[in-house]
Structure 1
Amino acid sequence: MDLRHLRYFVAVAEERHFGRAAERLHMAQPPLSQAIRQLESELGVILLQRTTRRVELTAAGETYLERARSILGDVAQAADLARRVAAGSVGHLTLGCVGTATYSVLPTLSRRLSEELPGVDFAFRGEMLVPDQLSALHHGAIDVALLRPPVADLSLVVEPLRSDRLMVALPADHGLAGQTRIRARELSGIDLIVHSADRRSVMYGVVLRLLHDAGVEPRVRHEVGETSTLLTLVAGGLGVAIVPEPVTALALEGVAYRPLVEPSASVELAVAHRVDRAEPHLQRTVEVIRALV
């Protein structure tokens, strides 16, 4: 028995006539009749009562028809699913984003992904620091990361997407808020709010290196894990912060943003995933991210 026998039987059972079933199947009637007899012989039951004018289903045939249709439907669905998986149209992915991408990229990206890959089930984790993203990639907690390089890990594919200039976020009533731009040396002696050093934030290293190059001894007063918390403290007048420009999407009351004028005042945004992850739906997701960002 094979699927061909099931298709033959369903055609005869639905047409109630061997001639019409043969026409439907684009085959001659004798081999069709022979195939049905072989099927009945293998099953050991009579499925069809034949008369000179039409064919009727036995009770066993009625039951077999129901299951045969179900089996053929499952086979068709399996084939369709396999084709959609191969095309990257179905699957499940979790994306992890650094704080700035959470605000500037994720709203548009989530909408674009749902439009272009409606069969893929997406989950999102925002406000992740890079070390947490790397660990999550390795353990499978996330599948794709929008992060800040550098990443010295040969087990990951890291593709730069864009360069974001750095801004100074400061209380709206701060003395420097009246300037159109700020130089790093002007932050000497000013309380700073930075991303956490304990959690090995990339931005922590970027900020300290930039101030060091400008000859400024940083006066760090607060370290935080989330960008939203950092800006909340700025709004509260507890200090100023150096942030990537996309953070300005968080138009928090009481916070002013001014460009930081330094040769190295920028950071990269990249998309990353494990080298051994080459599923079609993951690759299509990366393509959507690349096109959008």
Structure 2
Amino acid sequence: MSTAAASSACSATEVAAQPVGRGCVRCLVGHTARRFGRRRERRRVGRTGRRRPVFRESTGPSGRCRGFPSRGGRREKLWLSYLECTPGHPEASKTSMTWHEKLCLSSLVDLRQLRCFVAVAEELHFGHAAQRLHIAQPAVSQTISQIEHELGVVLLERSNRRVALTPAGTLFLEESRAVLARMEQAVQSMSHFRDVGLGHLTIGVVAALPPLLLPRLVSRARAALGDIAISVRPLPGDTDVATMFEADPMLDLVLVRGVVVSGRWIGSRVVSREPLGVAVHHAHPLARGEAVRPEQLTGENLATFARAADPQTYDAMFAALADAGYGGAGELQEAHPGAVDASLRLVAAGDAVSFKLASEVRAFGNPDVVWRALDGVGFEVVTSAAWLRSRIVGPKAAVLALLPRPRH
């Protein structure tokens, strides 16, 4: 290390000016550097009782800062890692991690300490927390002190009569619970592999799907995945994808209406896009043309699915129809979104019209029912597949290549 680099790196002003890291109760950068500095300073107290400064701008004959930690020690390695993570320093190119991230990774706060803190924070009594954890009370007190020492903040206010959380302790309790919950989820994921293994694929589906999507996917999966067993489970259409996976830990992949946003834990892909049209009886006057204007359907009896079953699709569909000139139905008959045949039977009897996909009318297979496009309505029914990245691994990952892709 050059003299200039050592001199600038050992500046106490620069150490104290490090920015506070995001997402922490308190940034450990300046705190740790100053803590090591105080230890070094105390060891350098001479017989006269005078304290000599640790971090200095000047350098010694060897070119090293006088306050630099001794060679080969833990403090020298920690300080060098700080230099590696300092933007603009010659050593910074050796690593892409920040100093704050490195300190967090090397923190001594482990899951055992987090469980101890959560127990004390929930019980607000060291004795009760010790009974809950089946350990001695002094060990609980020592663990809390260690955590506070590592974080550099006070988490609990203690007195002879009561124990209370500080604002930092309240925040740290929420973060600790989140870490423990994530760890529990990881353990459950591994138990899923242990109990069921990679030889079972569970697909969840909502009722309102294109009729041929699921049968074709299951057929292709069984042919391609060999010995992997495949099961299908019904899901409510008014629940978000994350809740579906949380409610059923055995789910691997789901097929739902709408676009699903991919995230860290969940992957997604649009598998179908179909324009909305109208199903009418073949003798209906509107069946004579190739397309139907929405205002021509105003006042017609309508058979559709109930809003409670899929509020998002229901509202978006009727909003698009209203914008295109649709004035409402004469008599509205609502049914479960999976009861496609029920609404199309009413159309076949000439009692109603129904907003449907072309694939649904083709799958119904009744020549008395015809499908016509809606002129001026740009609404498309989107179907997406979503999966947990932690579960679609190994042989089961081949199912992702079997998912269909929309034509446009």
Give the shorter-chain TM-score range: 0.5 to 0.7
How big is each residue's C-alpha offset from its partner over 1:259-280, in whole Å with a ceiling of 9 and x where there is no partner? 2222513222211124554433
For the 8 Å contact 1:190–1:239, the answer to whether it is kept is yes
User: Are 1:252 and 2:366 matched, yes or no?
Assistant: yes
1:242 and 1:203 mapped to 2: Cα distance? 12
1:181 to 287, 291, 295: 291
For the 8 Å contact 1:193–1:241, the answer to whether it is kept is yes
How big is each residue's C-alpha offset from its partner over 1:81-135, in whole Å with a ceiling of 9 and x where there is no partner? xxxx9xxx94212223445645222232222111100121112246x66325845
2:345 aligned partner: 232
2:341 and 2:280 mapped to 1: Cα distance? 14
1:137-156 equivalences in 2 (<5 Å): 137-140=245-248, 142-151=251-260, 156=266
For the 8 Å contact 1:93–1:123, the answer to whether it is kept is yes
For the 8 Å contact 1:195–1:203, the answer to whether it is kept is no
2:379 aligned partner: 265
How big is each residue's C-alpha offset from its partner over 1:4-28, in whole Å with a ceiling of 9 and x where there is no partner? xxxxxxxxxxxxxxxxxxxxxxxxx
Instruction: Summarize the Cα distance change of 1:122–1:292 in structure 2 as closer, same or farther, 3 Å threshold.
Output: farther
1:209 and 1:190 mapped to 2: Cα distance? 18
1:279 and 1:158 mapped to 2: Cα distance? 15
Q: TM-score, normalised by structure 1?
A: 0.60
1:191 and 1:111 mapped to 2: Cα distance? 38
For the 8 Å contact 1:90–1:117, the answer to whether it is kept is no
For the 8 Å contact 2:305–2:335, the answer to whether it is kept is yes
1:251 and 1:100 mapped to 2: Cα distance? 18
Instruction: Summarize the Cα distance change of 1:99–1:245 in structure 2 as closer, same or farther, 3 Å threshold.
Output: farther
User: Are 1:215 and 2:325 matched, yes or no?
Assistant: yes
1:124 aligned partner: 232
2:210 and 2:245 mapped to 1: Cα distance? 17
Aligned length: 205
Higher relative CO (Cα under 8 Å, sequence separation at least 6) belongs to 1
Instruction: Summarize the Cα distance change of 1:289–1:217 in structure 2 as closer, same or farther, 3 Å threshold.
Output: same
For the 8 Å contact 1:271–1:286, the answer to whether it is kept is no
1:177 and 1:104 mapped to 2: Cα distance? 25
Instruction: Summarize the Cα distance change of 1:90–1:202 in structure 2 as closer, same or farther, 3 Å threshold.
Output: same
1:113 aligned partner: 221
User: Are 1:193 and 2:307 matched, yes or no?
Assistant: no
1:67 aligned partner: none
Give the counterpart letter for 1:217 in structure 2. G
1:8-23 equivalences in 2 (<5 Å): none
1:201 and 1:172 mapped to 2: Cα distance? 30
Give the counterpart letter for 1:123 in structure 2. S
1:202 and 1:238 mapped to 2: Cα distance? 27
For the 8 Å contact 1:191–1:239, the answer to whether it is kept is yes
2:123 aligned partner: none
Percent identical among aligned pairs is 22
| CA-CA distance at 1:181 after TM superposition | 1.1
Structure 2 residues without counterparts, runs of 5 or longer:
1-192
For the 8 Å contact 1:244–1:266, the answer to whether it is kept is no
1:66 aligned partner: none
Report the secondary structure of 1:103's partner residue.
coil
1:271 and 1:157 mapped to 2: Cα distance? 8
Structure 1 residues without counterparts, runs of 5 or longer:
1-84
1:137 and 1:218 mapped to 2: Cα distance? 37
Q: TM-score, normalised by structure 2?
A: 0.44
Higher mean displacement: 149-158 or 258-267: 149-158
1:287 and 1:152 mapped to 2: Cα distance? 19
Instruction: Summarize the Cα distance change of 1:237–1:146 in structure 2 as closer, same or farther, 3 Å threshold.
Output: same
Instruction: Summarize the Cα distance change of 1:122–1:165 in structure 2 as closer, same or farther, 3 Å threshold.
Output: same
2:277 to 144, 163, 167: 167
After TM superposition, which residue ranges in structure 1, 4 or more long, deviate above 6 angstroms? none
Give the counterpart letter for 2:300 in structure 1. I
1:279 aligned partner: 393
| CA-CA distance at 1:203 after TM superposition | 3.6
Instruction: Summarize the Cα distance change of 1:217–1:280 in structure 2 as closer, same or farther, 3 Å threshold.
Output: farther
| CA-CA distance at 1:142 after TM superposition | 4.1
The structure where strand makes up a greater share of residues is: 1
1:76-115 equivalences in 2 (<5 Å): 90-99=198-207, 101=209, 103-115=211-223
